[in-house]
Amino acid sequence: MPDIHIHRTHHLGFETARQIGYAWAEKVEKKFDMDCTYEEGDTQDTLHFSRTGVKGTLLVDAQQFELKAELGFLLGAFKDRIEAEISEKLDALLQAPPPVARKAPAAASRAGGEEHASAAKPAARGA
């Protein structure tokens, strides 16, 4: 069972939701030094994120975002604070004007296709 479970519905459509998923990945990579891998699918994308003490996924589709994360022992003591900050960042992205369409990270994989590691990291570093 995940330590953190955040669910947000939206009416943005899949492409706009995907752009928010990319933006969220860039933010957590920069602010929390997360390793992120973004996998594109036909109807749902999956962002895998991890660093010492935390790992999880953000599922993105045309109607919802669903984040599940498992915290290590040390970060578990800060669960409420971490959950509040993640919720705040995701809510801010959902309330912001739609992001400018971005090209998918070069290494993003298609569901059922090739898998590539750390797809979001090059995009977050400006590559």
pLDDT in tens, 43-102: 999 999 999 999 999 999 999 999 999 999 999 999 999 999 889 988 988 887 766 655
Least reliable range by pLDDT among 5-9, 12-16, 39-43, 93-97: 93-97
Range of the domain at 50: 4-114
pLDDT of residue 118 exceeding 70 = no
Distances (CA, A) of 111 to 38, 78, 92, 108: 11, 34, 28, 10
- The confidence score (pLDDT) of residue 89 equals 87
- The confidence score (pLDDT) of residue 124 equals 39
Q: How many domains does the chain have?
A: 1
pLDDT tens string 102-113 = 555 544 544 444
Q: Read off the DSSP letter of residue 110.
A: E
Does a structural domain hold residue 121?
Answer: no
Which pTM does this prediction carry? 0.75
Does a structural domain hold residue 120?
Answer: no
CA-based nearest residue to 27, from 107, 96, 115: 96
Task: For residue 43, give the CATH number of its domain.
Answer: 3.30.160
pLDDT of residue 117 exceeding 50 = no
CA-based nearest residue to 124, from 52, 59, 41, 33: 33
